[in-house]
Amino acid sequence: MKTVRVGSRDSGLAVIQAQMVIDAIKKYDSNIEVELVTMKTTGDRILDKTLDKIGGKGLFVKELDEALRNGGVDITVHSYKDMPMEINSELPVVALSEREDERDVLILPANQGDKSKPLGCSSKRRMLQLKALGFDNIEPLRGNVITRLKKLDDGEYCGIILAAAGIKRLGLENRISRYFTTEEIMPAACQGIIAVQTRKGEDTRYLANFHSERSKIVSDAERAFVAALDGGCSSPVAAYAYFENDKLVLRGLYVNEEKNIAIKGIEYGRAEDAVKMGISLAKRLKGEAC
């Protein structure tokens, strides 16, 4: 009997996302034995510093990559937005989920909060766009979703900004006070998409029920845009691709912090040109900033 060991971070949201993959494997073949292996990553352990100070979101995949290399697990499950732009060719991404809600959301305290407290936010991308919307008292906030919600409800913040996808997957949609449109806050590249990684050459046909080719196309465009700008996971650049009928649309945000420049742009094209679109839009926005 075939056994598939699924590696995941140990947070509540990560386990739910891993369970989505497990359910898809079981649907493909109920005879496959599936084991969940959870672990705490470096990014989960270091919570007193912002990600850009400790090496970026690649720290959320380090231990999981090692488990793949040494055979401790067969596949690993990630939020695609947390993965580095450069992926080891020996550990390819082999399946992507349908995209959940890509927007960012505002969550207020369960009880009456103190409006003098700061707004909690985990990324430069969000901070920059929130300031453009008139939010000025913003402080960094680390930890998994449940930890952040507890800090909010304990009175440390007047509100917090999180990804809608995670809140919905946790079944906490009732906590959402405001959805920001993608024009107000452009999402991180691949926000709302779950990625599955494995070792090169592995047979992963059992992921057929999980993979979305549509997510592959939009994520290729978004990641190509960010990569072309040398933007790591802690960079404030943002990208959002979607389909309008049969046409692929890519919107991007380029930020030059040294020059205090933020430029948005849009590119239209074909699905098969997703990567070219990302590179083209990046070059155009970078040129406009010069």
For range 181-191, the mean pLDDT: 97
Is residue 141 domain-shared with residue 166, that is, in the same domain?
yes
Could you report the per-residue pLDDT of 210-220, keeping only the tens digit for each?
999 999 999 99
Is residue 1 domain-shared with residue 93, that is, in the same domain?
yes
In a domain, 266, yes or no: yes
Chain center to CA of 263 = 22
Is residue 206 domain-shared with residue 219, that is, in the same domain?
no
Is residue 203 domain-shared with residue 60, that is, in the same domain?
yes
Give the domain CATH number at 258: 3.30.160.40
In a domain, 187, yes or no: no
In a domain, 185, yes or no: no
Is residue 197 domain-shared with residue 93, that is, in the same domain?
yes
Is residue 132 domain-shared with residue 203, that is, in the same domain?
no
Bigger pLDDT: 180 vs 59:
180
Is residue 91 domain-shared with residue 141, that is, in the same domain?
no
pTM of the entire predicted model: 0.91
Give the Å distances, CA to CA, from 100 to 97, 164, 169.
8, 8, 9
In a domain, 186, yes or no: no
- Given a cut of 90, is residue 173 above it in pLDDT? yes
The confidence band for 273, taking pLDDT boundaries of 50, 70 and 90, is very high
Is residue 87 domain-shared with residue 140, that is, in the same domain?
no
- Mean pLDDT, the chain, rounded, equals 91
Domain that holds residue 202: 1-97+193-211
Q: Specify which residues 267 forms β-bridges with.
A: 250
The confidence band for 49, taking pLDDT boundaries of 50, 70 and 90, is very low
- Given a cut of 50, is residue 55 above it in pLDDT? no
Q: Does residue 44 have an active-site annotation?
A: no
Is residue 55 domain-shared with residue 30, that is, in the same domain?
yes
The confidence band for 42, taking pLDDT boundaries of 50, 70 and 90, is low
Give the domain CATH number at 158: 3.40.190.10
Q: How many domains does the chain have?
A: 3
- Residue 131, pLDDT score: 94
- Residue 51, pLDDT score: 45
In a domain, 236, yes or no: yes
Tokens of 204: 């992963």
- 82, 101, 104, 220: the catalytic one is 82
In a domain, 47, yes or no: yes
Is residue 206 domain-shared with residue 239, that is, in the same domain?
no
In a domain, 184, yes or no: no
Is residue 69 domain-shared with residue 202, that is, in the same domain?
yes
- Given a cut of 90, is residue 176 above it in pLDDT? yes
Is residue 88 domain-shared with residue 110, that is, in the same domain?
no
- Residue 287, pLDDT score: 87
In a domain, 151, yes or no: yes
Strands 159-163 and 176-179: unpaired
